[in-house]
Structure formats: C-alpha cells, structure tokens
Structure 1
C-alpha cells in the first residue's frame, strides 16, 4: 500500500485537466490518466504510481482511479467522484444541485464534512447517485432499457460480450446483471461510496471481467468518445452488483443527490464590456469591403421592435458607405406601419431593406415545441427559395441580438460548406442527443452564414425534410436541430465571439465544446451578443449584464418611446399583467368548487 495508514474515508475526486481543485482530510484530488498526460496537475495524487492501470485511461476513464484506490489505499470507506460531480451528503434521495466554488458555506450546504458524511455512512454501507430513468439527453419522455440505450449510444456487441463473460465467470451475479441491463433505470458515472469489504468484493469482481472483455473487444476503429467503452460498460455493472450485494449480503444501500459543479467563472462586469464594445464599434466602422453584403432576419409583428434594435446596431457598426441589403422574412402579421419603421432605419446609409412575405403553410409539418420561439424561426429553411438567385450567400441573424462589431468580418468564402456558425452553449449534449458524429460541432443557428448557391444545387427541401423525419422523435430544438443534422460535418466553425450566448455571462452547467479561454475572450470582446434562452433584455426581470446595450440601440429606433425611459412603467404593467393572469388561473382552479357550492346552495333553497 502506498498510503500505509488506514484512513476512515478515502474519497478521491477525478481530475483530467486544470481547474478548481479542492482537498481536505476526506476528499483527495486524483489525476486520472497521469501516465499519458502531457502535463502534471498540481496538488493531485497521480494514478500512475504503485500498482496501476493509468495508461488505460482513454478506455477505462475514472476506473483507473478506482483500480488505483483498490491496490494502493487502505480505508474504512472508499468513494469515487468527478471534479464536476459529487454526492450531496445532506439530502437522501434528492436529485441535483449546482455549485460554483468550495466556500465554507457551500461545504456546509452539501455536507462535505466529517459529521454529515459520518451520519450517512453510519446508517448505510453503500451510497450511490440517484437511479435515473434511462433516456437520451433532453428527451425525458423517451424512456428505454439500459440495453436499448446502449444499443443506441454505443456498440451493443460490447455489452453482449460482457454479459456472456458475467454468465460464465459469475453465474450467481448474472441474474442481477441481466435484470439491471433490461431495466429502465441506471446510476451513471460510477459515483459511489462503499464500505471496505463491499468495495473490495466489487473491485475483485469488476476488473477481471473488464480485462477479459478488453481481449475480445476491438476498439481500433472507435472515435475518442466510443473508446471510453469500459467506463460505459461499468456504469451498467456497478448498479447490478450493488443489487446483488443488497439481496445476498443485506448491504444497506441508499441514494444521494448529485451536486454538479460549473467552474468557468462568467463575465458579469457589464460596464467593462460595454466600454470595450464602444471602442470596438468605433474602429469597426473603418472597414469597407467592395462586395454587397446580404443579411437576413425572420420575424413576426411581435419581434419588430427587437429586430429594429438589432438592425440599428448592425448599421451602427459598419462603414456608412458599405453596400448592404437587409432581407426581412415575415408572415402576414407584420404590419405596414412596422415595415415602414424598419425601412426607415437605413436612411442616409448605403443599406437597403427588402421585405419578403412568407407563406409558411409548407412549414406546418415541423414541430412548434419552444414556447419563447415563434414559427418564424423556420423561415431560414426556405432561404434558398425566398432570396433572389443573384444572392449566393447570406448571414442569417436572429432578432434577439445586438451587433458589437462589423458584420462584414464574417462575410466568408464558404467553399463547399453548407454554412458557417458558432458552437452552441450546450453543444456536446445536443450532439449526443441527435447521435451526430463526434467530428461535428453542434452549432447555434441564431447566427449562420448560409451557402445559398450550394443549397440551390441540391434538393434542400428534401434534405431538411429527411433530416426531420428520420430523427423526428429526437428533435427538441426545432430548426436548429434540423440544420445540424442536415449540415453535419459540412459547417465551418466561426469564432465564438460572433454568437456570444447568454451563458457566457452566467454560470453554465451544460457541456460545451469550446474552451474556457474561448468563452472568456468571447464574453469580454463580443462581436455579436445573442440573448439566448427565455429571459430577454426587454423583460423586466432580465439579469443579463449587457441588457442596457439593447435599450441603448432601441432608443435610436422608432420604438424609442417604449425604451429606457419607460422601463419602470413597463415593469409595473408587466407586474399588473402577472397579477391578472394569476387571478384568472385562480378563478379557473376554483371554478369547479364554486359551481359545486352554487348547486348545493340552490338545492338547499329548493328544500
């Protein structure tokens, strides 16, 4: 044993990259895959010391830490966690919480102390994360068995090999594994705390099976995600073995909630960024390109004021003589008055506005499942037909944005690519939900340079329709999902600053593809601010630090009277609307009871 002293708790938190690290007498950070890492992580135990399988980390994931603990540490209780996923020792059977630091307040709230942990371990021998319903990410309605999910997400033949090995080597455990694999719940990420005797039994059972499977499974053609095969397989084996221990040895088992960490500190100093933007816009106006640039918005009447603010900021960040055509796709709700207002924004500039009335009946087949997004979002699927043939590309922009730099900087040559766009704020999970290849970066379609020439050279309507129909059950983000499926591996990735999403300015606990450095750079010097999600700058409760920039530009539009001066009035009106709405809901809720009372009163009168 490397750690010769018997410890009460040996809780190891897996790290594989630089970031916030917490260490005390109970929790110890461990660098997983240290044997193959390019640099050492400070303050971490290395999993390549003593007896170890550190070099297998690419396929065994956190199990290299589990193996190291088994072979090199002596303790009464063993625990395995991830730097962004730890158990909440204050709440039995709860689900999730989020944390951003390791402050004394946070440690107390989540029970990361001897007293809270001892209280749990005094009652239970094994503690796990919750058993979640098994379903693709973001599709809670699509419950499936562990076997079905593994077949969808990974190579099912690998699981079949493991099942056969369990049947041969551990016939007494096999029924529990089979039941678990064909059940519809699972504990993910191999997070657990076990009493020493149960931990040693589990490790002694698990690793011989996985090592035998390693000899039978060929991963040479697997991408980096699928090469994590033994980590994925062990997730299905862990819960099954715990069921076996509970049934045959009366192990006391419970579940705790998971605390998810989001450590990339968001940019919240709005004043600093606003000053940077002001200087940036002044310099941006110096750029002039000879080619006419085409920009497209898609709106209904409700979004006319917000589109006005977006256009004002767009015009304000380009050269006064820049040839520019702004195409506004709209349905029949856009009033003539609002069209005139929008057109007036380009007076005394080289820009023009063209309105395109869209017959959206052909789009009714597509889902309308996002409450804060109108059906006008689907108009971008018709760009190749709606804009003139002479327009070979266009920059599509959502109307809930403000430009902070010259849009001409992304007037790119797309070559043979369908589009260019920025990585989404939760793109890793979205790609996984749709089953997209790991080589494709799931993009946010709110800012997208479309290659109309290429789209006209194929049957784009069929491309979009097939993308939807073949993945209908998986679509949650409407046309953005459809575009990512249709354009997979054929989209150029733009620098993140050209679609600075709202989660750059608040804690983001989603899995994203861009780096923390990219996020910080984009937030501090955005080229375009995109007010993603349901909280918009025109809402009184919006906490976005750059919301004042929206009002600054809206003040220069014909909708100025509804702007900054009237925010307080707008807030009062919004509050009154909420009160009235709540009153109507109460009336609806109590209507059956009132009706019943009225009938009883009438019956009493008749008597």
Structure 2
C-alpha cells in the first residue's frame, strides 16, 4: 500500500476522515479519508490514505482508535491546518445553525450531494469556516444532560467498560510529567463540560505541540497498564482518555500557556447514521440474451414473504436461463440479506443482489393512503436510474407465488408499449358499481379516456427506455408525492401510461379472492374480462395475494395451501408461523453511548418540564449553546 499524501507539497487545510470500513466520502481536497488500523485490517479500503505507511502506530489501533490517524498525520502529512473527523461524524462548516439532539449532534442519514451542500462539506465552505481561527473543536457538551452525571470523573465511571483506575493512572502520569497541569486536570475532571469525539482542527504549530504532549502520556500509560483480560471496549481506553486529555490541554493553554491569545470556536457535529456508500449495482458478466432481470421491493419485516416469492420463482425457472434477482430496500439487515443469498444459492442459474434506495428517495414525501399498500411500492420509480444498463426488466410484488417460468413473461414483445400488465378486475369491477364513485375518480383524478384499461401493477414487464422518455426519476417521485391517489403508484402508472400498455394474459397475475371480491366486485367487470379471469384461476402462472387477506395471517384464504407449499421450505417459515400466532417481531435494543440514563433524576426533570420535541426542549438547547459560546 502507498500513500499519495506522504511527501506531498504542504496544503492549507487537511481534515483527516478516519475510517475502518467502506464509506461515502465528500469529493473535497480538504477532507482526506484515511484507513485506520490498516496494518491488521482484513480488507484495504479504496480511495483512502493508510495509517501504516511511513512512521506510524497503526498496529495500536485496537487501543488508540482514531488516534492512529492523528499520529500518522503528525509524522507524515504537511498542512497549515490539521483536523480530524470520523467516517460518520463531520463538522458542520456551513454558516447555518442546524437543530441538534440532546447529545449535541445534528442527525442526518446519508452523505449525499444534498448533505454536502447543506453542511458545507466543500473546500470553499471549509476555508471560510477555518481561516483565521487557531483551534476549532466539536460542541461543548454537559454531562448532566448526557447521562445525569455531575462531572467528568463520574461520567467516566458511568461507562461499564471504562475503569476508574485507568483515569486515575493517566492523571498521575500527567501530574508527574507536567505538574503545572494539575490545576487544569482537576478543573476539567471535576467539571461537567467537555468536547468529545476527538474532533478538532488546529494550526500546524498548535497541533504539533499537542501531539508532542499527548502521545508520550499515552505511551507511558499503555506500558504501565494491564489489559490482559480487557474486553474490546476497555481495550479502547487510550482513545477515551485522549478525549479528556484534549480538554485538559486546551484548558491549560487558555489559563497559563499560548492559548490565552488563541481564537477558539466550536462547530456543530453532524452524525450520519448511514455513511456507507450507496453501492451501485454493476452489470453482470452473463450473456445478456439469456439474462432475465427481476426486481422486487421489500423491507426487513417482509423478508419471509419476499423469500417465499423468490423461492417459488426460482423453483419454476428455466435452468437454461440466468435470473438477475434485484431487491430494492431501505432496511433489510445484513444478516437477512446473507440468509436469503445463502438459501437461494441452491439455484446456480440465479444471483440475488440488494440495492439501498434511501439516497434516491430522500427528501420526497412518499406516503400511502391505503393501509394495505407499503412505502416500498414507490421504489419501482427509481429502477430506470438504478439499473441504467437494462432496457427491459420484470417488476414483481413480494406477495406472489410464481408457478410459471418468468422468462416467458420477460420475453413478451411489448410492441413498443411502455408496460406489459394484466387488467385489474378489482378496479374495473368498481367502475360498474351503481354509486359511480370509482368512475368519477378515474375521470377526475386519473384522466383516463378508457378507465376499463386500468391495470394491476404487482406484475409488470417494463420498457425502461420508454419509462425514461416519459419522466425522470425526480419527476416520477414528485408525482408520487401527491397523497390523493387511492392506489398510489399504481394509479400514477395508469395515469401516466394510459393508452400505452400491452395487456398480458390473466394467468400472469391472478388476484386471489380477498373478502369475497371475486363474486362481489370482479363479477361487475365486463363479461369478457370476468370470464378470462375465471379461466385463469384454473391454472395460474402467478397467484397474487393482493389485499389484506394474506396466507401468513389466514392460511385458509384463497390459494392459501399453495402459498404454504412453498413457504414452509424457507428458513423464515417459523417467523411466518409466529405471525400467524400473533407474536410480534421483537424490537432491537437502541443504545446511544451518550444517552441520558433512564433512571437519571436529571432526565426525569428535563423530560417533565421540556419533553423531547417540545418548544421548551429546543429553547433549553438554544440557551445552553449560547451559555457555552456556541453559535
């Protein structure tokens, strides 16, 4: 591994972004990603510097954490300003204050172009925020609000992985090496305010002075401490200690050192919950003439049903064709993704890939007015950009059982039309109802000249090039933001594609008899349509469990035994049985390492007088920021 930074010409501002796993990084010369712990890492990150090149302490990363990047920059990099952030935590370099939570963080999701603009993660904004200052730190936080502790010593002891004897030990080392710091160490450790996260920006000479003071202290601490039986978090003690030592060093400089004349300020800290790269899907190397791209959309709660549908599809697939199965999602866990892949490895003529849609739909107000329609239904609008190398795909809902080979469906000649789809007998039957409500809706909202051409969107053959001609993804999502559609994206597709649809045989999307609709709604449809639907029920190629009556909730529903014929074979069958028994999925425990204790008297008082999300809570935080000198 090599570093292009080492030996380079001095740069004005270098803010190093510590990372130990892949992340999206802003394309900005002032922000420099560096892989920490590179010496012992299982994988090498692309597009970063590495902390094991040149003079380094990379092998100490399990104990020193992001400090191995700080040490590397001290010994190898050249700049006027040195700064440090994390792959998920950045300074807010904009000149706009942002709402922060009780832990002093501005919470966001992705490091997107929008976020880069909003938080000034560009060279010009960084220079404007940094130039002229000597030291910049993360916000000054109050331990009384963080976890109800009255000082930093108690705050340290409140962490079950940190040993109070280690804090005392580094205190003794500091006082022995630098007795003039005792007063400042006492003031900081007995106080209840500090800057955390090891995030700061300093002028070159100040940064070098700090490193020359800090690292000998930590080295002596490590050489004289026993971590033989320490757990992983306790092993990180030197990293935790450095957070406290930074505050002590700054306090001493302001009281008795060069810092009395420094210009010092804080910048807000932005915490990105999902800093991982979007992970665009690449085209497969398989013969495109043999490949059948099939797209699904689901969330983590729908994994058992999604897996059942995919399994039924591949069980009945043509072994001479290759199926590129792509799942659009926003929250399917890595564990579930791995389980799905492993289970479907039994089909050598298929691959399963996952695409995170959140960056694409961020900022759009996508809601559903129908309780039986999920948010995932909108994801089909991003397919045309997510899969730019495909001109045609199949889109399938995740509540299907597939008995036919979908390669036959994919091979359908659309004859130049945008979509291939099956008529929707539910909607069409409602058009002939005496009250006329659905007909008025089709005329006024959908503007369909022939509403009897309304199709069901759970099974689609999509010409992506024609879809791209109709609208951009932004335009599709903007249209989808309208909350007044009854069937949401299905209505939108019918409105925008009206008169440009190739109608598929009914057996490719046989909707089951939910709440007796076959003889209570479908039979109001034009006679030819109804007869064709009834005929398709005898040998369906796809059964669609559309509506609220699902076989994992009611195994006696129409075509229920067919569903369980496939579902019982999947690794998620017991989860579906639990759903049948009314057992809810357990919610994972949520932990924030700087959260208020539930039994904290401070927490109870604050929550009573200023509940989370209230105007009083926000006012309290504004006042606290002003008292601390923060903007």
TM-score, normalised to structure 2, is 0.46
- Who wins on radius of gyration, i.e. which is larger? 2
